[in-house]
Amino acid sequence: MISAFSLLKALVEPVRIRLYLLLKQSPLTVSELSEILKLSQSNTSHHLKALRELGFLRSEKIGQHTFYGLAEIAEAHKIAPLLKQLEALKDEIPEAASDTLKLRSTLAARGEDSFKLWRREQGDLPYSDVFAHLAAGRRGTVADIGCGEGDFFAWLDISFARIVAVDRDTAHTRAAARKKSKHAAITIVQADAVALPFADALVDAVVLRMALAQINDCERALGEAVRILKPDGYISIIDTERTLGGGFKRRVRESLADCGVAIDSERDLPQLFMLRGKKS
């Protein structure tokens, strides 16, 4: 059992509060944490060990990497007020803001690496098969959230009359814009997935392709995606399940259900999952 006093003693060092704030957003490896915090791996491991011995962390080995995440604590309600106070401290920790920005870059790189690896391992699966699942053969307007450099435009252009492409990265949107001339109905917008600058019920379908795992607050991003989706519209997701405990798909399913989306199609592939849901 974790007492508030023992947790307070363990988190007396600011770096451990930073660790907690990072791991609350995503499971991470020692190497990733070390890079974000700008600490040696041995020093990072020392701080992780202190929290893990307390029962505050759990770990799981996936492939060659060990991922650390927050443990599920039976007496969580007893320490919830303390954790809430810790989260409020992020505005008083100078490094917290830069930690979050570095986390975004880390998750983005991880997502790209996972997708490239999956494509190498799945050479016998035509790319059109992925498209067929995602696009669902619908007409109208599709929002491609986390569009990257626009690599998916050609496939979406087959089934949709208009594509609204969104990415927060300036380099990505510029690269995507260079492909715009090949497709007559593409609008490219630089924006964050957690705060989409669109009206409610705007699009007929939403596609999130290897994007959610790169977003810190994926639940909020899903809420935004569903908000801009018309009633009876479809949201289609492909992403990696390479997270601690393999629970990322479960989180996505629960968030979609909370937003009034019913899953109507689901596929599991090596290291990836696909979901499609319909908004009520």
Task: Kindly report, residue by residue over 92-106, the tens digit of the pLDDT.
Answer: 778 888 888 888 777
Same domain, 160 and 90: no
pLDDT at 113 over 90: no
pLDDT at 57 over 90: no
Same domain, 80 and 101: yes
Q: How confident is the model at residue 28 (pLDDT cuts 50, 70, 90)?
A: confident
Provide mean pLDDT across the span 80-85.
74
Write down the pTM of the prediction.
0.62
Same domain, 148 and 195: yes
Same domain, 109 and 161: no
Least trusted range by pLDDT, from 48-62, 77-91, 130-144, 187-201: 130-144
Same domain, 179 and 251: yes
The number of folded domains in the chain is 2
Provide mean pLDDT across the span 200-222.
89
Q: How confident is the model at residue 246 (pLDDT cuts 50, 70, 90)?
A: low
Provide mean pLDDT across the span 244-272.
82
Q: Identify the domain boundary among 68, 98, 119.
A: 119
Q: Identify the domain boundary among 70, 90, 119.
A: 119
Q: Dig out the tokens for 232 from the structure.
A: 């009876």
pLDDT at 121 over 60: no
Q: How confident is the model at residue 256 (pLDDT cuts 50, 70, 90)?
A: very high
Q: How confident is the model at residue 260 (pLDDT cuts 50, 70, 90)?
A: very high
Provide mean pLDDT across the span 160-171.
90
Q: Identify the domain boundary among 67, 89, 119.
A: 119
Q: How confident is the model at residue 116 (pLDDT cuts 50, 70, 90)?
A: low
Q: Which pLDDT belongs to residue 60?
A: 78
For residue 225, the enclosing domain spans 125-279
